[in-house]
């Protein structure tokens, strides 16, 4: 029976994992992801899942174990955060390169140094080129729904790639929200039985994986992997649409909020979206045509959808919780800029780095970004491309 209960974002992820009942979970606890591992370990201990829980000594070992279990034909899920994802970095490429449909729940937390356990998105954005699908969640309900969808996406025969589900640490992971939880059987029916394409334990059809591949063929292997990632976008949209038709909730590749006639807009992902919507609504009451563009699917990057949503905007700001030191701009800004250029869409685009290390991004700060955009829209000139929101003492 469906029910509404109070869960944190971590709790919502763990509940989705319980209902999916994967064959293997190999994980190592790290703040602010720890609650997921703790709760799922309780499910294993009480016998409510049939999962083999592998408690390893590090995150590198966790992803190594996940690669082995997935290659052996087991439905596999893991979770991590921050330094843990960084320690997995080598194995992220192994998982994607071997086309292993692993689901990883990443609770976004900043990377040291200096040591900080709070939220920004530098961990997952720093892994954007590892070949994983990346989906960013705004709140705990979206976390629950997306973890369920991610299994179907990863295991689709035309995709067969790992999926990273991202949620903001503490802001989403530790806040309690009312979550509509589906019936256990509904979830099992939606994800279906795992029928692996790759199975190292199939002795009737022996294969080898991860072989040494020299220059004559390596390029083609990597192209096939990249092509599969590019072509996964319609599968992501299809699974989300089916989920919406069955259960009444869907999220899309992007969400264009009040963008039909917007003259200024903020582009962002994760938990900042909700605050930006509130500010946009307030500005609309004042007659200011403000909008919000939420990017849910960051990899593969939705070039067409982003360009279409921004084509009528005079000025837009990409707000993101990460730096790209030494680059012309942070990761999401650079991708949005590239999408607009590729599609021949001219927008006065600026970048705002916000919320690093868990610094609050309140409505009054987002309002200042919109005020900056109003000036750019009126003048038609960008005064400064890269901006830092609420940075003390430097600008």
pLDDT tens profile 143-184: 999 999 999 999 999 999 999 999 999 999 999 999 999 999
Please count the other Cβ atoms lying within 10 Å of the Cβ belonging to residue 278.
13
Is residue 108's pLDDT more than 70? yes
Q: Which two tokens stand for residue 190?
A: 């939606």
Mean pLDDT across 110-138: 98
Domains of the chain listed by start with CATH number = 3-246 (3.40.50.970), 254-388 (3.40.50.920)
For 325-347, write each residue's pLDDT tens digit: 999 999 999 999 999 999 999 99
- Confidence (pLDDT) at 395: 53
Mean pLDDT across 272-300: 98
In order, the DSSP letters of 139-198 are SHHHHHHHHHHHHHHHH-TTT---EEEEEETTTTTSS-EEEEEPPHHHHHHHH-----S-
- Confidence (pLDDT) at 393: 80
Is residue 394's pLDDT more than 70? no
- Confidence (pLDDT) at 198: 83
Q: Which two tokens stand for residue 338?
A: 């590239």
The answer for residues whose C-beta is within 8 angstroms of residue 75's C-beta and 6 or more apart is 20, 22, 23, 24, 151, 155, 194
Predicted TM-score (pTM) of this structure: 0.98
For 222-246, write each residue's pLDDT tens digit: 999 999 999 999 999 999 999 999 9
- Confidence (pLDDT) at 234: 98
Is residue 84's pLDDT more than 90? yes
Confidence of residue 27 (pLDDT cuts 50, 70, 90): very high
User: Which residue, among 274, 270, 265, 236, has the nearest Cα to 253 in the 3D structure?
Assistant: 236
Is residue 6's pLDDT more than 80? yes
Mean pLDDT across 110-127: 98
For 189-204, write each residue's pLDDT tens digit: 999 999 998 899 999 9
- Confidence (pLDDT) at 380: 97
- Confidence (pLDDT) at 254: 98
- Confidence (pLDDT) at 279: 98
- Confidence (pLDDT) at 218: 96
CB 307 within 8 A of CB 343: yes
Average pLDDT, the chain: 97
């Amino acid at each position: 029976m469906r029910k509404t209960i109070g869960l944190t974002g971590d709790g919502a992820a763990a509940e989705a994992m319980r209902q999916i009942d994967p064959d293997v979970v190999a994980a190592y606890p790290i703040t602010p992801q720890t609650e997921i591992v703790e709760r799922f370990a309780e499910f294993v201990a009480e016998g409510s899942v049939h999962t083999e829980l592998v408690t390893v000594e590090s995150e590198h070992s966790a992803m190594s174990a996940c690669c082995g279990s997935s290659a052996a034909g087991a439905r596999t899920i893991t979770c991590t955060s921050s330094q843990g994802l960084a320690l997995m970095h080598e194995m992220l490429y192994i998982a994607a390169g071997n086309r292993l449909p692993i689901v990883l729940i990443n609770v976004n937390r900043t990377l040291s140094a200096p040591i900080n356990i709070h939220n920004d998105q530098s961990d997952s954005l720093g892994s954007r080129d590892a070949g994983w699908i990346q989906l960013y969640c705004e709140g705990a309900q979206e976390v629950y729904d997306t973890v369920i969808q991610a299994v179907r996406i990863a295991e689709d025969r035309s995709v067969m790639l790992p999926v990273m589900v991202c949620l903001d640490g503490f802001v989403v992971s530790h806040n309690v929200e009312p979550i509509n939880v589906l019936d256990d059987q509904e979830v099992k029916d939606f994800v279906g039985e795992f029928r692996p394409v790759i199975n190292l334990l199939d002795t009737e059809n022996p294969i080898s994986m991860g072989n040494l591949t020299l220059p004559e063929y390596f390029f083609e292997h990597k192209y096939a992997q990249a092509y599969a990632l590019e072509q996964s976008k319609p599968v992501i949209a299809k699974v989300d649409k089916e989920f919406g038709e069955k259960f009444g909730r869907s999220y899309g590749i992007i969400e264009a909020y009040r963008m039909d006639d917007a003259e200024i807009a903020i582009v962002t992902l994760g938990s900042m979206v909700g605050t930006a919507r509130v500010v946009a609504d307030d500005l609309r009451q004042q007659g200011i045509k403000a909008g919000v563009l939420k990017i849910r699917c960051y990899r593969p990057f939705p070039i067409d959808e982003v360009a279409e949503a921004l084509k009528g905007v005079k000025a837009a700001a990409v707000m993101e919780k990460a730096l790209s030191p030494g680059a012309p701009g942070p990761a999401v800004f650079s991708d949005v800029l590239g999408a607009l250029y590729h599609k021949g869409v001219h927008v006065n685009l600026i970048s705002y780095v916000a919320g690093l290390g868990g610094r609050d991004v309140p409505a009054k700060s987002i309002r200042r970004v919109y005020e900056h955009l109003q000036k750019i829209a009126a003048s038609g000139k960008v005064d400064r491309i890269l901006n830092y929101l609420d940075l003390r003492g430097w600008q």
